[in-house]
Amino acid sequence: MKNVQSPKSSKRFTRRNSSFAAVALVSVIALAASGRAGADEDSGQNGNAVLEWNQVFIDTLVATNTANAVSQRLGAIVHTAIFDAYNGIEQRYTPVFVHDEAPAGASKKTAVIAAAYTALVDLFPSQKEALDARYAASLAALSDDDDHDGGRSRQRGIDWGIAVAERVLNWRVGDGFNGAYPPFNGGTAVGQWRPTPPAFGPMSAQSLAFTAPFVVISNTQFQPPPPRGLLDATYTSDFNAVKALGRDAGSMRTAEQTALALFWDGNTSVHWNDAGNQIARANHLSVSDSNRLFAVLNIAMADTALTVWSAKRFYGSLPTAVTWRPITAITLADTDGNPDTVADPSWLPLITTPSHPEYPAGHPSMNGSASTVILSYFGPEQTFTLTTPGQPARTYTSILQARSDADNARVWGGMHYPSTVAVSDGVGQAVAHYVNRNSMQPLHGSGSGHDRFSRLGHDAAPAASYPTELRRSRWILVMRSQHPSHLRSRTDIEDLSNA
C-alpha cells in the first residue's frame, strides 16, 4: 500500500480545471436556488453516485471499444479518485493515495461526481461531450441533500473531487505505462512464445509489464511458478484438450461452448463491473460500501493485470519456459520431443490468438480477481445479465458459474491450456485477497464487514472439475498471499503447501 506525498498539479490540469470549476459553480448555485427537499447523502433516497458513475465508466469503455488489457488500469484510476474523494470526507477507511482530509462540510455526492468526471475526461478525451452531458445530468438530479448554505457545500465537494482526481492522475502519469519499450518478439526455442498468425505482431500492451502497481508491493509479488515442461503429463493433457476443443472447425465443442467462448472473449472490466453494479443495486448496498467495493474490485483487477503481464514478459523471454500458444504448439508438435503430442499443420483456433505469451493468462486471472472481490460482499447466488457486443446477452444466477464459464471459454476459444487457466485464476484470487486485506482498511475498529477472505469457503474455487494438481496450485497461490515473506522459490511454495 502506497503512502506518498501530494504531487504538485500540472499546468495541464490547472488550465482545464479553472474553466471546469467555473461551469460547475454556476450549476451548483442554480441547483441550490431550486429549493427541493433534502435527504441524507448516504440514505440512498437520491441514488448512489458511486454506482451511477461506475456505470458511466462501463458505458465509456464500451463506447470507445477500449482494449481489455488496458481497461483494468483505467478502472483503478477512476475508482481510486472516487474512493479517496468520498473517503476524504467520510474518513471511514485508510485512503489509497490522497491522505488529506476534505474541507469541512463538503458534499460527498458532488465530490464523487466531480472526481469521476475529472478522471474520465482526462482518460477518455474523445468522450468529453458525452461525459459533459452525464455530469450535468448528475448535478441536475441532486436534491438539496441538507445543503442550506447556498450551494457552498456542493461547491466544496466539487472542488475537493477535482483536486483528488488531479492528484491521482498526476500520480499515475509516471507509473511506466506510457514508457517506450523495444518490441518484444519472444524467441524461437521449442516451447517459447513467438508472434502468431494472422498479424505476427510483437507482444501487445507490453508496457503493462513495466507499470507500477496500485497496492501490491511489486509486479512480481504474486508471480506464478514456471509453467510445466513439454514432457510433463499435464502438458500432454493440456495440448490434447485444447487441440480437440479449441479448433475452429471440426472440434469437440458443443454449440453452447462455442457461444460461451465468443461471449467471454469480451472485456473483463466491462463484464465484472457490470455484474458488481447490478448485484450491488439488487442488494441495496450503501454508497459507502459501494465506494469500497468498486475501488477494491478495480484495483485488484489492475494489480492482477500488471502481475500477469509482468510474468508473461518474464517467462516469454526464457527459452526454457513453455509459453507458446496452442496455434504454435499444435502446428509444430513434431518438434516438441513429446511422443504423445501429434502435430496438425492445418489447426486454427476458434478465436484469433492474442499477441502475447500464453502463460499466465489474462482473462482467467481477471475472473479470479473480480469474482473473489464480489464474493467478499455477497453470497454466490446472485442474478445479473451481461452483454458482449455482437453476442446475445447472458443472464447468470451464480457468480461461480459465470467465473467457471469465463475461465473455460479460453480453452474453448483455442487460446489457452487448462492448466494455465487454473493457475491464472489463482493468481487473480491471491491478488484480490491481498488488496482486500491490505488497503482501504477501517480507521475505527476492525469490523469492515468484509472479512470472509479469512476463510476459504464458496469463493475459493470456481469449478471442482479442475484436476487435483491444479486446484493445489491455486491453493498455494492463495496461501502465498498470506505469507509474510512473499515466497519466491518453487521449493518454498511446496514446503508451505505441505505445512
Q: What is the dihedral of CA 217, 186, 333, 408, to 10 degrees?
A: 40
Q: How far apart are CA 253 and CA 330, in angstroms?
A: 17
Q: How far apart are CA 59 and CA 336, in angstroms?
A: 45
The average pLDDT across 12-35 equals 40
Tell me what pLDDT residue 143 has: 74
112-121, 166-175, 222-231, 490-499: least confidently modelled range? 490-499
The segment(s) of the chain belonging to CATH 1.20.144 are 11-173
**Residue spans of beta strands (DSSP E) within 397-499:** none
Cell of 87: 473517503
**Beta strands 391-396 and 384-388, pairing class:** antiparallel
Element (H, E) at 384: strand 384-388
**Structure confidence by residue, pLDDT tens digits, 337-367:** 999 999 999 999 999 999 999 999 999 999 9
The segment(s) of the chain belonging to CATH 1.10.606.20 are 206-497
Q: Kindly indicate the confidence band of residue 497, based on its pLDDT and cuts at 50, 70 and 90.
A: very low
Cell of 137: 445530468
Using CA atoms, how far residue 358 sits from 71, 203, 354, in Å, is 19, 11, 9
pTM across the whole model: 0.86
Tell me what pLDDT residue 340 has: 98
Residue 8: pLDDT above 80? no
Element (H, E) at 393: strand 391-396
End-to-end CA distance of the chain: 28
Residue 1: pLDDT above 70? no
The average pLDDT across 311-333 equals 98
Burial class (CB in 10 A: 0-12, 13-18, 19+), 464: exposed
Contacts of 207 (CB under 8 A, 6+ apart): 176, 177, 178, 179, 181
Cell of 292: 469500497
Q: How many residues does the chain have?
A: 499
Alpha helices in 91-232 (DSSP H): 108-123, 128-140, 152-173
DSSP-based three-state secondary structure for 280? helix
The average pLDDT across 96-101 equals 95
Q: What is the DSSP letter of 414?
A: T
Kindly indicate whether the domain formed by 206-497 is annotated with CATH number 1.10.606.20.
Answer: yes
Q: Kindly indicate the confidence band of residue 444, based on its pLDDT and cuts at 50, 70 and 90.
A: confident
Q: What is the DSSP letter of 93?
A: B
DSSP-based three-state secondary structure for 375? helix
Residue 16: pLDDT above 70? no
Q: How far apart are CA 302 and CA 172, in angstroms?
A: 13
Is residue 301 within 8 A of residue 272, CB to CB? The reply is yes
DSSP-based three-state secondary structure for 247? strand
Alpha helices in 317-398 (DSSP H): 326-331, 362-375
Q: How far apart are CA 351 and CA 242, in angstroms?
A: 12
The top-scoring range by mean pLDDT among 2-6, 10-14, 372-376, 459-463 is 372-376
Residue 294: pLDDT above 50? yes
Farthest-apart Cα atoms in the chain, separation:
80
Tell me what pLDDT residue 147 has: 57
b/e map 73-111, b = 16+ CB within 10 Å: bbbbbbbbbbbbbbbbbbebbebbbbeeebbeebbbbbb
Residue 484: pLDDT above 80? no
Cell of 288: 459507502
| Nearest CA-CA partner of 225 in 402, 482, 484, 474 | 474
Q: Kindly indicate the confidence band of residue 476, based on its pLDDT and cuts at 50, 70 and 90.
A: very low
Tell me what pLDDT residue 47 has: 86
The CATH class given to the 11-173 domain equals mainly alpha
| Residue that wins the pLDDT comparison between 12 and 198 | 198
Tell me what pLDDT residue 456 has: 34
Residue 109: pLDDT above 90? yes
Q: What is the DSSP letter of 333?
A: G
**Structure confidence by residue, pLDDT tens digits, 143-179:** 765 456 768 999 999 999 999 999 999 999 999 999 9
The average pLDDT across 452-462 equals 37
Q: How far apart are CA 168 and CA 163, in angstroms?
A: 9
The average pLDDT across 122-132 equals 98
